[in-house]
Amino acid sequence: GRSAGLEGPGAVRPEVAGARSATGVTISGLHKSFGDNEVLKGIDMSVAPGEVVCLIGASGSGKSTLLRCVNRLENPDAGTITVGEHEATHPDVNLDAMRRQIGMVFQQFNLFPHLSVLENCTITPRRVLRQSTAEAEAEALAQLDTVGLKHLADRRPDQLSGGQQQRVAIARALTMKPQLMLFDEPTSALDPETVGDVLASMRKLAQAGMTMLVVTHEMGFAREVADRVVFMDQGLVVEEGPAAELIGDPQQPRTQDFLRRVL
Ligand code: ADP
Ligand code: MG
């Protein structure tokens, strides 16, 4: 569960600026091929509002494609995906409205190199949410404070470590007030010494009640923070369960093989 050690009776959830009601995701019968390569072969999975699910599996098993189908960066061939009240796979879905509810953080953080940290975090709320500069800056500073980087608001991305840039990318996503956060290997490109601070920011977000679907190879994070872990192999969900059970006592041979290799 959500860090059992931190959530005893009377535990206080850390405040995350702008945290708001969470939204869930339901995926059923999802198929996706690239040419002859069937990458997703009928995926059923869900993330409940406020739940943290870690998606694990070998490279090439379809994890990124699955995440990209959720916000329709890829078009599924079959199946349904709902995100809150939006049916992502419906022909008439309002993609802009749906995507505004979804924050995405990738391995490559893609900050604008010529803009300051603060400007990186205000440009989209100003353009898309039509916020005033003052309103956008106040929200951005609050989110940068949440990830511990308010003091670097005037820096440019190239003056930050990889881990700091990734935390800016998280703050930037949060300025749009998403109800669901998708993370695709957010720490895979980072120097080992900066990984911990990124995971700490993600843990704080989880504890604030954000719905999170996280592709990661960080089994310590999955075990501590995830409510559930889903193991995918070759386009199918092989096994899923509570984090401690799936990681500590996997039942399927393919899960056991995978975990033996990464742990
Ligand atoms: P994972 O994230 O688990 O490593 P991916 O979803 O990235 O897996 O990739 C799964 C398979 O889909 C791989 O064989 C990959 O080459 C293929 N694939 C992913 N995206 C594309 C694409 N845009 N065009 C063609 N093949 C793709
Ligand atoms: Mg991937």
pLDDT one digit per residue (tens) for the chain, 263 residues: 344 434 434 344 445 554 456 899 999 999 999 999 999 999 999 999 999 999 999 999 999 999 999 999 999 999 999 999 999 999 999 999 999 999 999 999 899 999 999 999 999 999 999 999 999 999 999 999 999 999 999 999 999 999 999 999 999 999 999 999 999 999 999 999 999 999 999 999 999 999 999 999 999 999 999 999 999 999 999 999 999 999 999 999 999 999 999 98
Give the closest residue (by CA) to ligand 1 atom 13.
Answer: 60
Give the gyration radius of the chain's Cα atoms. Answer: 18
pLDDT at 263 (0 to 100): 85
**Residue 84 burial by Cβ neighbours in a 10 Å radius (0-12, 13-18, 19+):** buried
In sequence order, what are the beta bridge partners of 104? 182
Dihedrals φ, ψ of 41, to 5°? Answer: -115, 30
pLDDT at 98 (0 to 100): 96
Ligand 1 atom nearest to 66, measured from its CA: 6
ipTM above 0.85, yes or no: yes
Inter-residue contact 162 to 84 (CB < 8 Å): no
Contacts for 114 with CB less than 8 Å, ≥ 6 apart: 156
Give the closest residue (by CA) to ligand 1 atom 12.
Answer: 39
Inter-residue contact 216 to 248 (CB < 8 Å): no
Give the closest residue (by CA) to ligand 1 atom 21.
Answer: 34
pLDDT at 3 (0 to 100): 43
Identify the residues whose C-beta falls under 6 Å from ligand 1: 34, 37, 39, 57, 59-65
Q: Say how many Å lie between the CA of residue 209 and the centre of ligand 2.
A: 25
Q: Pinpoint the alpha helices (H) of 105-182.
A: 117-128, 133-146, 162-174
Residue 207 DSSP one-character state? H
Give the closest residue (by CA) to ligand 1 atom 16.
Answer: 60
Q: Say how many Å lie between the CA of residue 183 and the centre of ligand 2.
A: 10
pLDDT at 21 (0 to 100): 66
**Of 87, 11, 12, 53, nearest in space to 202 by CA:** 53
